[in-house]
Structures are given as C-alpha cells and as structure tokens.
Amino acid sequence: MIVTIDGPAGSGKSTAARGLAARLQFEFLDTGAMYRAVAWRCLRESIDLHDVNAVATCAAAMTLRLELHHVFVDGHDVTSEIRTPKAAQGSSIVASNPGVRRELAARQREFAEGRNIVTEGRDQGTAVFPHAECKFYVTAAPEERAFRRQRELREKHEHDVPLDEILQQIRERDDRDKTRVIDPLRAAEDAIRIDTSGLTPEAVLDQLEHIVRERMQ
C-alpha cells in the first residue's frame, strides 16, 4: 500500500509522514532528502544549480540510498550535511529541474515497488504515485508555518532568524513550487485535505492513521 502526503514547506507533512509510517509499521520515503542530496552534491562539485544539464547529469550519476533515518550519497552518510539552510535553498532550485524530477521520480517508484510506504513531498499523489491507495494534502497558514520554522531553528541552536524573514522565504518557496512548469505543487483531485493550523502533531497523526486504517480494511 502506498500513502502519499503532499503539501507546502513547513506544513508538518514530514513529521506526519514519519509518525504515520511508524504507527502503521510502513517504510518512510523522504523525498525532500533526495532533492537536498542532489543540491548538496552539486554544491560540493561546484556545479551551478541553475545549469539545467549539469545538475541533471549530476543527479543521474550519483548513487543515493535511504536507510532508516540516514541518507547516503556515493556511499557517504550525508544526513546532517543536507539539512543546512544552503542545501535547503538549493533543493528548491534543483526541484524545478525537469531532468532531476524525472530521475528522482523513477528512483522513488523503484523504492516503493512491493513495499508498504508512506511518502511525502510536493507531487507524490499527483505525478509520482497517481494510483496511490490513500492520498493526503497537508497544509497550514503561512504565518503558522513560519512560526514553526523559527521554533525549529531555535531548538537546533541555529541563527535566530526574524519571523518576517522566514515568512517571506516561505511565501517565495510556495510561489516557486506552485508556479513551476514541471509537476507544480497542488492537491490531487482525490486527496484528503488536512489543515494542521492549531493542531498538535499527535492530533494530526490521529486523523491520518484513522483514515488510512479505514482504507486498509
């Protein structure tokens, strides 16, 4: 069974997907980490992220493995290195690259073959797994997402970024994701919408789990 969770940055879909996979004892496919990994490798190789052909070639050539909560690129554990703000910004750029999207979508389908998975991203229920048995579109107000991001940065003892600056970054990211030509961010027609504004992670998980278990029956 494939469960997809799509939605904008900061909506809580990653936390929800990990938690749901644990509750259901499904495998978790972190697609965001895959795009970050491509950006990280390009930056490491001094490849211009706006060079469409070079970035696509880099994505096709790299070996990428997701194992539990770890990400390996060319055999090296880069789990922490791909979580930097630079890699995050870079992932948004490479995600608009058609060649990268085709390459990673193929790898995502390969990962899911014959498995029970929960996968999250921007196009999982629309482009990658259009026939998934259960689809969700998780969202939240931009202000709520900005607050969550600021809190996350503070908990990691990273630079204290002003809330209005984070909110601007989120709005710019939303605009890029929704207006890109290839697989833009949108809810699948058969996706169940969940607004996480004001909800605790546990409350969100309870909703998702209840719906999936009903589908499983």
CATH code 3.40.50.300 region(s) in the chain:
1-26+116-217, 31-114
Superfamily of domain 31-114: P-loop containing nucleotide triphosphate hydrolases (3.40.50.300)
Question: What is the pTM (predicted TM-score) of this model?
Answer: 0.87
pLDDT tens by residue, 131-174: 999 999 999 999 999 998 888 888 876 667 889 998 998 998 88
Token reading at 93:
């750029």
- Strand pairing class (76-77; 70-73): antiparallel
Distance in angstroms (rounded) separating the CA atoms of residues 142 and 153: 17
For residue 172, what are the contacts with CB-CB under 8 A and spacing of at least 6? none
Distance in angstroms (rounded) separating the CA atoms of residues 177 and 3: 21
Could you tell me if 158 and 151 are in contact, meaning their C-beta atoms sit under 8 angstroms apart?
Answer: no
pLDDT tens by residue, 69-82: 899 999 999 999 99
Could you tell me if 99 and 181 are in contact, meaning their C-beta atoms sit under 8 angstroms apart?
Answer: no
| pLDDT for the residue 158 | 64
Q: Where are the beta strands (DSSP E) in 13-159?
A: 27-30, 64-67, 70-73, 76-77, 117-121, 134-139
Strands of the sheet with 64-67, listed across from one edge: 64-67, 70-73, 76-77
Domain 1-26+116-217: assigned CATH number = 3.40.50.300
